[in-house]
Amino acid sequence: MPPKSTPYWWEAAPPIVEPLVPIPKTTDVAIVGSGYTGLGAAITLARAGRNVVVIDKLSPGEGASTRNGGITSGNLRLSHAQMTKRFGSDRADAIIAEAVEAREDLYRFIADERIDCDFSLAGRFSGALSSSQYEVLARDSDYLVKNFGIEAYAVPRSEMARYIGTDLYKGGSVRMDVGGVHPAKLHSELLRIARAEGVTIVSKTSVMGISNTAQGYEVATEKGTLRASHVVSGTNGYSDASDPWLQTRIVPVRSRIIVTEPLKAELMESIIPSKMMISDKRKLTYYYRPTPDGTRLLFGGRDGTFAGDPSWPTDHLRHEMAKIFPELDGVGISHSWFGYVAMNRDMIPRIFQKDGVHYATGCCGSGVVWLRWAGIKVANKILGVDRPSALDFSPPASIPFFRGTAWFMPAVFAAMKMQDKLAARLY
């Protein structure tokens, strides 16, 4: 039987089909997008007494926020050295410190609000494909311990079997501040809280455009116009032509996840005895983890179609999974789905403004921690209550000859694959 094309997560927490509500005439804050970003902002604003309307063209959460791997990585694509080169060492330190704060804030929120999302602070193992990658991981671990007091350490190849049962990696590292959630349960809890705080959720309604007026903004939707004093845009990888300015700056990239049929307990124990979240140092990286009930492996990576063959993306991930764990060759795949992440030119998630509209976007593949946090930061900016955020940048640069269709991604993927091959062979 072919795998289901809907997320595994939707079995326990399907997207909620909201009763259709009319577009209100006015509000304090209109928010476009009902994922982690939109709801993070909405809850913060509603708790400060603001009237908030969230509008989404799909059902709430049907974008990436119920489709992801649920790894609370708060990752940054750039290394500390790369960020120092681009933004200076103070800004690089501040961004990393903010990632630590954002992750802690999510964990506190889950505990304080008694959020039922299968959260487990299991830790994350990163695998090295070469000895030089292992040295980088070891140095990064030292940096996290010394500068942020995070429990992090290198794992030499000789000790790797305690964490992961593979011969592919030449060692790795562990950081214990990263864990896993059930992303769709997390989203449905955010939605429950937002509703309880009086936020109006308007689903299945596309925003067509936003314009400035003397009193604030007019948000034109397919079902009527909403006047708002402030507007937040949280559309990330699902941004569309309704915002042509943003569309030249944010690159939507498809990411795919497959989930195995339930595996024998001894097999799960032999492949990931640590029960950790896993990724590796490849540029075209793969991320994987046990499902929260510990019975299946969830394996994610890039999507794409090869020569128009629709089964290629699933077969490709299955093949890569078997390269790491040969004993999984031929196991059944129950689910295979994709969603969109959002890249930008300098690969930093960020908040910014254009003509007074607040944007929080550009997850670069890691948004469970980052984008709820970015939504809160934008909300606090509107409320005028927060200290500056290291994510508060100027808008991302536009990309030449790009307007929504990432025609250049096959070439980017090919170059990354080549770099990965070289890195694994040369060092």
Ligand X SMILES: Cc1cc2nc3c(=O)[nH]c(=O)nc-3n(C[C@H](O)[C@H](O)[C@H](O)COP(=O)(O)OP(=O)(O)OC[C@H]3O[C@@H](n4cnc5c(N)ncnc54)[C@H](O)[C@@H]3O)c2cc1C
Binding site for ligand X (CB under 6 A): 32-38, 55-58, 62-65, 67-71, 73, 206-207, 234-240, 242, 255, 257, 287, 300, 339-341, 363, 365-369, 371
Question: Which residues 6+ apart lie within 8 Å of 81 measured at CB?
Answer: none
**How many Cβ atoms are within 10 Å of 425's Cβ, its own excluded?**
9
Question: Which residue, 241 or 265, has its beta carbon nearer to ligand X?
Answer: 241
- Residue 105 or 135: the one with the smaller Cβ distance to ligand X is 105
Nearest approach in angstroms of CB 419 to ligand X is 22
Supply the minimum distance, in Å, between the C-beta of residue 97 and ligand X.
18
Q: Which is nearer to ligand X, 366 or 389 (CB)?
A: 366
Distance of closest approach, residue 374 Cβ to ligand X, in angstroms: 8
Judged by beta carbon, residue 172 or residue 180, the one nearer ligand X is 180
Closest separation between CB of residue 78 and ligand X, Å?
16
Complex with ligand X: residue 117 or 363, whichever CB lies closer: 363
CB of 231 to ligand X, least distance (A): 12
Residues 28/232, Cβ–Cβ less than 8 Å: no
Q: Which is nearer to ligand X, 169 or 370 (CB)?
A: 370
Could you tell me the two tokens for 213? 């007026």
Residue 425 CB, shortest distance to ligand X, in Å, is: 29
Residue nearest ligand X, CB atom distance: 367
72 or 173, CB closer to ligand X? 72
User: Two tokens at 115?
Assistant: 């959020």
Name the minimum Å distance from CB 18 to ligand X: 12
